[in-house]
Structure 1
Amino acid sequence: MASNTPPQDAELVFIRAVVSKTGARLADVEKEISGLRRRLQQLEEERASLSKYQAQNNAVFSPLRRMPPEVLAEIFSWTLPSLFEATNRPKFDTKHSPWVLTHISSRWRAVALSTPSLW
């Protein structure tokens, strides 16, 4: 193998057997890699699903859920446009406060709608 001398007949038989076994092992390894890639994809999908589920459950512990409506209303009032901004914007621009606050959650909607100073 390390020289350019042609192999003898006995060496050729041995080398052919080695090449054949190596090819078969290479095919087995490729098949195993393919299976592992499929398994990795399944595990990554499961991880993403579990991560999303965990985030949804962790949301229960959010301090915003325990914030009194009066505090939320005060925070909401700070999101109102300034007088200058308000005069240069259409009255029913739903992309800005206070309209956008009503699309966050049912609780925020209730607080925003029950806060006359926002409107």
Structure 2
Amino acid sequence: LDGEITHLNAVLDGLTRKHDALQTYAHLHTALVAPIRRLPPEVLSKIFLRYNDENNVPYIRLNKAPLLLGSMCSRWRTIALSTPRLW
């Protein structure tokens, strides 16, 4: 009986690892097919500028909006850096 319990625990551990891997894969897949990824850089740039205009506090020297937008992902960082009006 102890041997069977050990075997079943090993099977359960393997299934748990597979489950975790599949959840990670599903999460990554969902992120890859998100509608925002289909927006062209020009549109995202305009959205960034609008966000920046609405979140810029004039009496604070450092505008954090470009830094925040640029920290989301490499694509957004590239777009933010290539949008001079954002800075």
TM bin (shorter chain): 0.7 to 0.9
Larger radius of gyration: 1
Unaligned runs of at least 5 residues, structure 1: 1-27
Q: Is 1:104 the equivalent of 2:76?
A: no
RMSD: 2.3
Q: Which residue of 2 aligns with 1:49?
A: 21
Q: Which runs of 5+ in 2 are unaligned?
A: none
Structure 2 match to 1:37 = 9
**1:114 match:** 82
Return the alpha-carbon distance in structure 1 between the equivalents of residues 45 and 20 of structure 2: 35
% of aligned pairs identical?
Answer: 36
**SS in structure 1 of the partner of residue 51 of structure 2:** coil
Q: Are the equivalent residues in 1 in contact too, given 2:56–2:65 (CA < 8 A)? A: no
* TM-score of the superposed pair, with normalisation by structure 1: 0.57
Instruction: After superposing the two structures, state which structure 1 stretch, 67-76 or 41-50, moved more.
Output: 67-76
- Which amino acid is 1:36 matched to? L
Number of aligned residues: 85
Aligned to 1:16: none
Deviation at 1:77, TM superposition (A): 2.2
The answer to whether the 8 Å contact 1:79/1:98 transfers is no
Deviations 1:53-76 (A, max 9, x none): 233234332212210222211221
What stretches of structure 1 move > 6 A for 4+ residues in a row? none
